[in-house]
Amino acid sequence: MGSFLLDALEFIILGLFLKAMFQNLGSFFGSSRTQVRRPQGGPPMAPPTATHRGEMARDPVCGMFVATELSQQLRQGTDTVHFCSRECLEKYQKDAEHAASR
Ligand SMILES: [Zn+2]
């Protein structure tokens, strides 16, 4: 009777093993099927030729236009003022302080 219990246990383990193996086979065939159906030669999301597509802003000190993503920025309340360089930003700040002191 003792060997019967072992046989039953072996049968259950074998059953679980076979079940796991069939599940692995199913996932293997499923993944291979999706790999076949991949798009061929799709265009890339962003063209590499475009360097700066950001907005342009006018530097109030020297008057030149700068890309907002590359500019020196100064927050003034809700507005952001853009400058071509740190020099222009500092000059603008000094002028603002000078105007405020009057
Ligand atoms: Zn400037």
**Category of 41 on φ-ψ map: left (φ > 0), alpha (ψ -120 to 50) or beta:** left
Element (H, E) at 6: helix 2-36
Give residue 11 CA to ligand 1 midpoint distance, Å.
Answer: 82
Q: Is the pLDDT of residue 79 over 70?
A: yes
Report the separation in Å between the CA atom of 66 and the middle of ligand 1, taken as the mean of its atom positions. Answer: 8
Find the 100 Cα to ligand 1 centroid distance in Å. 22
Q: What pTM did the predictor assign?
A: 0.46
> What is the CA(57)–ligand 1 centre distance, in A?
11
For the chain, what are the domain ranges? 1-37, 56-101
Highest mean pLDDT among 24-33, 35-44, 70-79: 70-79
Q: Give the whole-angstrom CA distance, residue 53 versus residue 85.
A: 20
